[in-house]
Amino acid sequence: MAPGYLGQNKTIAEVMVTTQFELDGFRVVRTLGVVRGIVVRSRSIFGTIGASLQTILGGNITLLTQLCEKTRAEAFDLMLEHAAELGGNAVVGARYDATEIMQGVTEVLAYGTAVWVEPLPLA
């Protein structure tokens, strides 16, 4: 996956994103709101033909796997960018969703809640 969003001297590292609603070792100081990254992608004719040939052999269809991974990474990066724009330094409750808009065209959505967290004091 991508390293995270870097812009305006703000960085959200991948380790600061979780599917949980709490980030271990940190406390949420401020909740900034829902953030999202949306990518709509279609398969090229060459990708469709290549994937069709791979289905004949069976197993992992690597052309489509790579396309899906790239699309999810782009949506993830957009979500981090949105969180940084809101002033967040972490995202909790991160999720992915995908919807086929029309045949061969899919929307991938990465979403979560942007938060500002601070490290918990050492005991």
- Tell me: the pLDDT tens digits for 62-113? 777 788 899 999 999 999 999 999 999 999 999 999 998 888 788 999 999 9
- Tell me: the pLDDT tens digits for 55-68? 666 666 677 778 88
Angstrom distance (rounded) from CA 11 to CA 112:
17
Structural domains of the chain sorted by starting position, each given as residue range(s) with its CATH number in brackets = 4-119 (3.30.110.70)
Asked whether the CA dihedral 84, 88, 89, 91 is positive or negative, the reply is negative
